[in-house]
Amino acid sequence: MVPLTDVAEWIRESRKIVGFTGAGISTNSGIPDFRSPGGVWAKNKTIMFQDFVDNYEDRVTYWQQKAAIWPDMRDASPNNAHLFFAELDRAGNLMGLITQNIDGLHERSGVDMEKIVRLHGWMGEAVCLSCGAGISMDEACDRVRHEPAPVCDQCGGLLKPATISFGQRLRESDLNRAAALSAKCDLFIVVGSSLVVQPAAGFPEIAKKNKARLVIVNNAATPLDSLADAVIREDIGVAFERLMAS
């Protein structure tokens, strides 16, 4: 096992760091992940994108679920792992940050918006699937109280949070940016991702193929652990407290 002091040294000497984050980075901010026991999957029905489009009842269920989690997500604060990336950015050593998260905590932690690739979109806005017009998530959730599946004021199209749902295609431009960052970095740090979902899980492999070091911080094993130069398998809050002190 590689000592944490070595990982801290790699971080100090790298100038082109790319972060890759999943839901696990935000659980210490009070936002549950999907797959852990007690996570969202355990409680909520998964609504596929096409079902959202086709069925009024599914839209109602979807909006109820989103309206229930939005206030906690909106009011959450970045934790020490989010702040770690913000600090790297301030120091000029963060080339990019690829995230699967929809909570906006990287943005709120102070990382330059231009450097963030939001693979799964974000929750702060609801957009019309027909004309693209958007309203804030606060306004959308207010409307859900009397309009269970809200529609666009401009064209009557379906409003949906600006996230990528199951069964919905990821944006080609985001995938290309993420692949380019992965190919150019010298250190690729995965935080809080089970790395089981493709194509997202392919980015660490691109980084390794291009000779970057790979570090994985997660409390459970991932399929890419054997490829990594270091695996820190513990709570993310504890890991970053130790890393920042090393």
Q: Which residues are catalytic?
A: 120
Residue 38 CB, nearest distance to ligand NAD (Å)?
Answer: 11
What is the side-by-side order of every strand in the sheet holding 134-136? Answer: 134-136, 121-128, 159-163
Residue 101 as a binder of ligand NAD (CB under 6 A): the answer is: yes
Residue 103 as a binder of ligand NAD (CB under 6 A): the answer is: yes
Q: What is the DSSP string of 121-157?
A: EEEEEEEETTT--EEEHHHHHHHHTTSSS-B-TTT-P
Residue 22 as a binder of ligand NAD (CB under 6 A): the answer is: yes
| Cα separation, 40 vs 32, whole angstroms | 7
Residue 102 as a binder of ligand NAD (CB under 6 A): the answer is: yes
Q: Which of 14, 17, 19, 27 binds ligand NAD (CB under 6 A)?
A: 27
Per-residue x/- track, 106-135, ligand NAD (CB under 6 A): --------------x---------------
By beta-carbon proximity to ligand NAD, the closer residue of 26 and 61 is 26
Residue 39 as a binder of ligand NAD (CB under 6 A): the answer is: yes
By beta-carbon proximity to ligand NAD, the closer residue of 156 and 199 is 199
By beta-carbon proximity to ligand NAD, the closer residue of 133 and 197 is 197
Per rule CB under 6 A, count of chain residues that contact ligand NAD: 27
Which neighbouring-strand residues pair with 217? 191, 232
Residues between 158 and 197 with contacts to ligand NAD, criterion CB under 6 A: 192-194, 196
Q: Which of 6, 8, 35, 183 binds ligand NAD (CB under 6 A)?
A: 35
| Cα separation, 33 vs 101, whole angstroms | 10
User: Quick one: CA dihedral 179, 36, 41, 140, positive or negative?
Assistant: negative
Distance of CA 64 to the CA centre of its chain: 22
| Cα separation, 203 vs 186, whole angstroms | 13
| Cα separation, 58 vs 64, whole angstroms | 10
Applying CB under 6 A, the span of 29-37, 110-118, 134-142, 175-183 interacting with ligand NAD comes to 29-37
In the chain, where do the E strands start and end? 17-21, 94-99, 116-118, 121-128, 134-136, 159-163, 187-191, 213-217, 230-232
CB 178 within 8 A of CB 117: yes
Residues between 200 and 239 with contacts to ligand NAD, criterion CB under 6 A: 218-220, 235-236
User: Closest Cα partner for 79 from 109, 51, 55?
Assistant: 109
Residues between 60 and 79 with contacts to ligand NAD, criterion CB under 6 A: none
Task: List interacting residues with ligand NAD (CB under 6 A).
Answer: 22-24, 26-28, 31, 33-36, 39-40, 100-103, 120, 192-194, 196, 218-220, 235-236
